[in-house]
């Protein structure tokens, strides 16, 4: 017994049917009105937005909803889904190509502005610190340490923008002292029972619970900070109770230098601080 295709029985033409494309059918009564599905499935006559376009053996072309196609002709539905996937991939590529082009143009503009500002800053700093720049210009690739410092000072100049006296003095100190200038020790250094002044601490809530930042001042007026989820206790207190501590009191701390951090304060000056970890204190 010959089986008649459901689409043929519905008057959409003679079998076999094949997939010829897809379309989005929209309807809007007037500008500002909601956009609604504007198509009609020729099999079930339901309103549709996304149409699967099929063609019969005798040349009839009709819109059919994807639900009807999926239920009645899986082969056509597979071809329909493959085309949708390719369309969406092309749309994504087109979208990201535009985004990347805009970002590239923005980066080019920013880099051009940074380069112009950096050149102006370097020229100003050469006038303010001729001896320093003479020393920098005389360094060669064979002198790795000074070459590293030269690269670092130029990077600092490019990052800072317009120069001022405090910045220029920071650059000078960077070169004339060491790459750890302005900080206490270098990353990884061990501090053993070092005398510091306790400044105080702040506490705040985070996704990891209560966090505390303790601050100390060294004898040479350098700032140390310790961020922890614990509480600063007295290593000499054998009872386990937390001894009282107040800003201004002297302590002996044992710790490890974790990182060097610098930021610009409200008055425009640069604050350097040394981040420490694994802190034990005695007072």
- The residue that leads in pLDDT, 110 or 247, is 247
- pLDDT higher than 50, residue 81: yes
Per residue in 236-247, pLDDT tens?
A: 555 444 456 778
Domain 190-282 sits in CATH 2.10.25: no
**In the chain, pLDDT over 70 holds for what percent of residues?**
69
Q: Domain map of the chain by residue range?
A: 6-72, 123-176, 190-282
- pLDDT higher than 80, residue 78: yes
Per residue in 118-164, pLDDT tens?
A: 666 667 767 777 776 676 666 544 344 445 555 556 666 555 554 44
Listed range (44-53, 76-85, 234-243, 245-254) with the worst mean pLDDT: 234-243
**Average pLDDT of the chain to the nearest whole number:** 77
pLDDT band at residue 205 under the 50/70/90 scheme? confident
- pLDDT higher than 70, residue 45: yes
Q: Mean pLDDT over residues 75-100, rounded?
A: 90
Q: Are 272 and 183 in contact (CB under 8 A)?
A: yes
Per residue in 158-190, pLDDT tens?
A: 555 544 455 555 555 544 443 445 677 777 788
Alpha carbon separation from 125 to 110, 156, 166, 176 (Å, rounded): 22, 12, 12, 15
């Amino acid at each position: 017994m010959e089986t008649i295709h459901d689409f043929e029985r519905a008057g959409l033409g003679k079998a076999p049917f094949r997939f010829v494309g897809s379309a989005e059918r929209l309807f809007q009564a007037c500008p500002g009105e909601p956009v609604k599905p504007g198509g009609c499935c020729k099999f079930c006559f339901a309103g549709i937005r996304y149409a699967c376009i099929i063609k019969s053996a005798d040349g009839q072309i009709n819109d059919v909803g994807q639900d009807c196609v999926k239920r009645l002709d899986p082969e056509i539905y597979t071809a329909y889904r493959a085309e949708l996937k390719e369309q969406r991939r092309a749309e994504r590529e087109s979208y990201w190509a535009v985004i990347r082009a805009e970002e590239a143009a923005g980066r080019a503009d920013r880099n051009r502005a940074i380069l112009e500002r950096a050149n102006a800053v370097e020229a100003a700093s050469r006038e303010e610190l001729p001896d320093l720049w003479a020393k920098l210009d005389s360094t060669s690739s064979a002198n790795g340490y000074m070459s590293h410092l030269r690269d670092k000072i130029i990077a600092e100049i490019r990052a800072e923008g317009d120069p001022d006296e405090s910045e220029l003095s920071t650059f000078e100190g960077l070169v004339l002292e060491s790459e750890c200038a302005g900080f206490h020790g270098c990353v990884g250094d061990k501090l053993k029972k070092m005398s510091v002044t306790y400044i105080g601490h702040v506490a705040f809530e985070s996704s990891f619970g209560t966090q505390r930042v303790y601050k100390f001042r060294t004898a040479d007026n350098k700032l140390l900070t310790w961020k922890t989820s614990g509480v600063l206790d007295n290593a000499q207190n054998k009872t386990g109770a937390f001894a009282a501590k107040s800003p201004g009191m002297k302590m002996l701390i044992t710790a490890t230098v974790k990182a060097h951090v610098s930021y610009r304060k409200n008055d425009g000056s640069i604050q350097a601080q040394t981040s420490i970890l694994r802190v034990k204190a005695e007072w």
